[in-house]
Structures are given as structure tokens and as C-alpha cells.
Amino acid sequence: MNPYWLEGLKPETAPLAGDHRADVVVIGAGLCGASAALSLAEAGLAPVWLERGFVSVGASGRNAGFVLQGTAERYSRAIAVMGHDRARRVHGWSRENHAAMAEAVTRFGIDCAYQKRGSLQLACSTEEEGELLESAARLAEDGFPATVLGGEDLPACYRDAGFRLGVHLPDDGELHPAQFVRGLSRAARSAGATLHEATSVSRIDAQGAGDVTVHTSGPAGAGSVRASLVVVCTNAYAGGILPFFADKVDPVRGQMLATAPAPALFGCPVYADHGYDYWRQDEHGRVVLGGWRNLDPSAEVGTDEVLHDGIQSRMVEFLHRFAALRDVPVTHRWSGTMGFSRDGLPICGPVPGAPGVVAAVGFTGHGFGFAFLAGKAMAELVTEGRSDFADAFPSRRFGI
């Protein structure tokens, strides 16, 4: 197990020791927690920020680095499930999230190989071709650019591998996910956040709004932080410390691999088979590829970051459909844990039954489409008591 983006990384800050007080505590140092800690620090607060491993060790440093618009559902299906107005607004939020991430890359000078080359959706069946065409039409109607590529318009490498139709979304992006999150973390710490890595939150005692105690364990022993408010950004792991999420956010595993540098082949991030399969080539020419979870969905659940040999083999078989990749060795294999919410949308805002605690979790495999704004929204809830983004994805939709 050697996640490509995490090579050589380890905790760089001291674990928490002893009992402390703070205005606000942030739990989790993935994209969402980094964004929350940054926004809180920029608002003049001094958050204490706790992470049980190190910055970006969770899904945020194990993903494919796609910055996509929309949810895991294709747009036409999102409209069918959510209704047109809601689907359009959710889609709009993800595009705003991308714009805000791009702005942060520039503002903080984050070296994360960010590019905006668009993304390509490929159909694996006649039925999926119909769905992609329908989706592209609905996107275009709503003012979201989408170009259908069929016949000779589809680049030869995809045609040679058996694909017949794709849709290019020119506004999507890609980046080195761990370097982006670590750049945000440096900015958050410069602005006044105090980070403690290797510090696991074992319990949250929410005595009442304005008085919450977070209990921790780690190599420095037990610790605690008493605060007015706590922001939980632990996505797939949320149910472990907040019972409310135990039956609302399910941990789901995703397999990934990376190859040695290969000849330039893929012009942008690609996802196929209803989003189950995805790959791109980074700035060094390495192919980063993941997915195929639908081969064994009942096994690919839980928080153990283990390899699935059958899925990993099928991923390599797929790579070999591209003649130029047949002799390129796989150098890295890993897995990561996504937090799937029951309706496929993030869950943001005050946590029922835990006064003084707010959370942003359940990004359902598309956290780089939502979690940066979700983290900012958590900071808005702390500093202003409200947030349009959190209002769009409230926990109360599940009943209390």
C-alpha cells in the first residue's frame, strides 16, 4: 500500500498533550477541515485543529485529484432524482467550489499542478450513450458548457480502446490533491490555526451550546480541548464520534493505482461506466487510475484501507486496452475511504443532538467538488451563525 500522493509524508506538528481551552476546535485535516481552519483563522479566530494522522492522509490525499462539477450522478439523472431547480443549484455550488479552489491556488501560491483542461465522460454501453447525450443537452440548456464527441471527434486512443461516444466538460480541473490540501494547511497555520497531528478524537461531550469538550488520545497521552464550538470534518469517519451520522454516512472503499511515467495519451481527466472508472495523467505522465468498485460493491465497504486484488487486476487489464501503456509498470497501489451519504449529497450544519457542534460530511466520492466551500460554510456558521451553502445541504432533511 503506497499512495502516490502521500509518499514521504508524516506528521509535522506536535500531538496534543494535556487540557486546553479554545474558541473553536476543528476535527479532521482533509480538504474540508483545512478549508474550515483557514477561513476561521482568516476571520480572526485561533482554532485548535486536530488530526489523527497527518494533513491529507484521508480521502483527500488518496483520490484521483479530479475537480469535477456536479454530484456522482450524471446531470440528467440528478434532475430526475432532485428536481430541476435543486439539481441546477447543486451543480452551481460545485462550479463555485472549483472557482474558489482555483482562487486559493493563486492567492496562496500553492504548487499543486492545478490545470483546467476539462473532463471527459465516456460511455461504456448504448444505454450510457443515451444517458450522456441527454445529460449534455440538459447541461447546455442550463448554461453549463458540454460538447458531445462522437465518431472522428473522439480522440483516437479512446476509439482504439473500444469507446464510441464521450462528452467533454471544458470547465473541470485537476490537481495534486495532497499538495493542495497541505498548501491550505500552511496558509491556515500562518493565519493563526494551531494544528496537532497524530491526535485522535475519541469523544465529544456537548454539554450545551457554548460548552463542548473534545477528548483525545495519541502518543503524548490523553488530552482535551474545551471550546464554545466544534467543527467536525471527518467525512467517512463521522459516525465514529457523532452517533447522528452512524446511519447517514457510510464508509465506502475506492481502489487506486499509479503507473511509471508514460507517453502522453490522455488530455484531461476521464470517467467512464457511470463514473465507476476514472483516470488521468499527471504532469509527470503517470497514469493515475481508480474505481471499478461495482465489481464487488459488498466487499468495498468499511474504513480499512486494504487492496482488493481482483479489482486491482481488472484495473491493470483495462490499462492494457491502451497499446501505449502495455509495457508501463504500475508503481503504486492504494485504497481510500469515501463517505457516502444516503442521498448522495453533502450534509452540512448543526448536528442534531450535539449542541455546539457543526459538521460537513458525506461528500459521496465528489468531495473536491464541494468540500472547500463546505469548510468555508462551517466557518460562516461559527462566525455569523448562518451560511447559504449549509442551508442548501441541511442535516434536518433526514429527520431528527
Ligand X SMILES: Cc1cc2nc3c(=O)[nH]c(=O)nc-3n(C[C@H](O)[C@H](O)[C@H](O)COP(=O)(O)OP(=O)(O)OC[C@H]3O[C@@H](n4cnc5c(N)ncnc54)[C@H](O)[C@@H]3O)c2cc1C
Judged by the rule CB under 6 A, the positions of this chain that interact with ligand X are: 27-33, 50-53, 57-60, 62-66, 68, 200-201, 233-237, 240-241, 254, 256, 290, 336-338, 363, 365-369, 371
Nearest alpha-carbon partner for 68 in 197, 215, 169: 169
Q: How far is the CB of 34 from ligand X (least distance, A)?
A: 7
If DSSP codes are grouped into helix, strand and coil, which group holds residue 213? strand
* Nearer Cβ to ligand X (129/250): 250
Q: Which amino acid makes up residue 353?
A: G
Grid coordinates representing 178? 495532497
Place of cell 457543526: 358
Q: How far is the CB of 28 from ligand X (least distance, A)?
A: 3
Q: How far is the CB of 303 from ligand X (least distance, A)?
A: 9
Rounded distance between C-alpha atoms, residue 198 and residue 310, angstroms: 33
- Total Cβ atoms within 10 A of residue 250: 18
Grid coordinates representing 375? 469548510
Q: Are strands 200-208 and 211-217 parallel, antiparallel or unpaired?
A: antiparallel
Place of cell 491493470: 316
- In terms of Cβ atoms closer than 10 Å to its own Cβ (0-12, 13-18, 19+), residue 364 is buried
Nearest alpha-carbon partner for 32 in 289, 396, 393: 393
Q: How far is the CB of 15 from ligand X (least distance, A)?
A: 11
* Nearer Cβ to ligand X (131/197): 197
What are the φ and ψ backbone dihedral angles of 189, each rounded to 5 degrees?
-70, -40
Q: How far is the CB of 72 from ligand X (least distance, A)?
A: 9
* Nearer Cβ to ligand X (26/154): 26
* Nearer Cβ to ligand X (166/218): 218
If DSSP codes are grouped into helix, strand and coil, which group holds residue 23? strand
* Nearer Cβ to ligand X (12/141): 12
* Nearer Cβ to ligand X (165/288): 288
Phi-psi region of 144 (alpha: psi -120 to 50; beta: other; left: phi over 0): beta
Q: How far is the CB of 238 from ligand X (least distance, A)?
A: 8
The DSSP H or E segment spanning 94 is helix 84-107
Beta bridge partners of 279: 270, 289
- Total Cβ atoms within 10 A of residue 193: 26
* Nearer Cβ to ligand X (129/212): 212
Grid coordinates representing 189? 497555520
* Nearer Cβ to ligand X (110/241): 241
Q: How far is the CB of 241 from ligand X (least distance, A)?
A: 5
Q: Which amino acid makes up residue 127?
A: E
* Nearer Cβ to ligand X (88/308): 308
Spatial neighbors of 322 by CB under 8 A, at least 6 apart, are 157, 160, 161, 265
Phi-psi region of 285 (alpha: psi -120 to 50; beta: other; left: phi over 0): left
Q: How far is the CB of 4 from ligand X (least distance, A)?
A: 11
Q: How far is the CB of 58 from ligand X (least distance, A)?
A: 3
What are the φ and ψ backbone dihedral angles of 269, each rounded to 5 degrees?
-60, 140
* Nearer Cβ to ligand X (29/195): 29
